Amino acid sequence: MHDMSNDTTQSLKNHARLVPGFHLVALPLITVNLVWSIASLVGHPNADTVKGLIVAVALVLVALFARQFAVTVQDRVIRLEMRLRMREICPPDLAARVREFTPGQLVALRFAGDAELPTLARKVLDEKLQNRKAIKAMVKDWQADNLRA
């Protein structure tokens, strides 16, 4: 597991999480296995190469779904965390609107510091901003999130 706390200060430009064991080892190996299995089936079609391709496709699907499941759970936790945080620090009129935010808006807003969050949150709702990257780009006081999946 990679801990970003010792890395360069997190910002919009470098906040994407890279897990070397997953992104640089497991995924390339699974991809090479898939390509190899396709080549084997094309070169020598038989029951074993069909079975090899089925297993290779299954490995790709397991890796992709496992990643998606982790990100989905992470986004749900962020949604809960942000709803609680916003109810604590936002003015009552904005705190009352917390359920109007989409999960994507809340995920993007999580990087905003407490001082700027109410103003930015109001802007996101009032202007109906949906683009995560655009919302993140508006954050001035970037708060690192080092516990991401």
User: Residue 10 carries which side chain, given as an amino acid letter?
Assistant: Q
Burial (CB < 10 A; 0-12, 13-18, 19+), residue 124, is: buried
Residue 90 lies in a domain: yes
Run of H or E including 134:
helix 132-137
Residue 14 lies in a domain: no
Residue 145 lies in a domain: no
Residue 8 lies in a domain: no
Total number of domains constituting the chain? 1
Residue 103 lies in a domain: yes
Residue 101 lies in a domain: yes
Domain encompassing residue 64 = 19-137
Residue 5 lies in a domain: no
Please report the pLDDT score of residue 9 as a whole number.
78
Please report the pLDDT score of residue 8 as a whole number.
63
Q: For each of the chain's 149 residues, which pLDDT tens digit applies?
A: 444 444 467 877 768 778 899 989 999 999 999 999 999 999 999 999 999 999 999 999 999 999 999 999 999 999 999 999 999 999 999 999 999 999 999 999 999 999 999 999 999 999 999 999 999 999 999 998 888 77
Residue from 121, 101, 97 nearest 111 by CA? 121
